[in-house]
Amino acid sequence: MKLFLTRHGQTDWNIARRYQGQTDVPLNETGTLQAALLAQRLSTHVIHAIYSSDLSRAMNTAKAIAEVQQLTPVLHSDPRWRELSFGDWEGMTYQEMSAQSPELFDAWMKDSLTVSTPNGETHRQLAERVQSAFDEIKAKHDDETVLVVGHSGSIQTLLALTLGVDLSRYWQFRVSQTSLSELTVYEDGVTLNLFNDISHLTMDN
C-alpha cells in the first residue's frame, strides 16, 4: 500500500500560535489556497480512499483533494485522526499555558505520554487511536493508494509508530501545513519515501 500523509491547511489559530487541539477552527484564506495547491499536485495520482479527521480544517482539505481526483475516492471521516486534545488549554498560546499552571505545564512538557493537560488526553491515548486507525486502513487497502489528512500531532505520532521512533521523540518530525509525506506499507514494516514536502506551495501557479 502507498500511504500519503498530509496536515490540514492554515488557520488563524496557527498564525496566532494557539494550541487548537480538537477545537473546530476553520481554514483561513491561505489554508484554502494551500489545500487547492496540494490537490493540484495530487491530481495526477489515483487515490483509492481518503481518511480524514472529522474536524473541518482537515475535512475541507480532504474535500479539495477529492474533488480533483481522476477517480472519485471514498472520503471517510474518522475522529481517530484528530489532533491531541489539550482540554481546558485549547485556544491558549505556549506562554499562556505555562502561566496557567506552571508545575503541571512542566510535568506535561517532560512526559506528555502519561501526563495530560486539564481535561485533555495523554500522548499515549493519541497513539492508541492513531495505531487503531492505521491498522484498519492497512487491513482494508492492500496494494492501493490511500491518503490520510490529519494534524501535526496525529501525523507525527503515526510516523513515530511506523518507523520505530520512541514516542517521546515524536515532535522531532516537523509536519508543515499541507505538506506531503509518503510511506510504502508492507506486511512487516514501512519505508519513508517522501517527508514534509511543500514544493507545491512555492510553485508558480
CA angle 149, 152, 157 (to 5 degrees): 95
Task: Name the catalytic one among 8, 76, 123, 200.
Answer: 8
How far, in Å, CA of 23 to CA of 31, rounded?
16
Q: Give the integer Cα–Cα distance in Å for 17 and 91.
A: 9
- Could you confirm whether 8 is annotated as catalytic? yes
DSSP-assigned letter for residue 155: H
Taking alpha carbons only, the member of 189, 188, 194 closest to residue 147 is 194
- Bridge partners (DSSP) of residue 50 are 75, 147
Of 18, 23, 85, 73, the C-alpha closest to 49 is: 73
Which of 76, 123, 151, 200 is catalytic? The answer is: 151
Q: Known catalytic residue: 151?
A: yes
Amino acid at 201: L
Catalytic residues: 8, 151
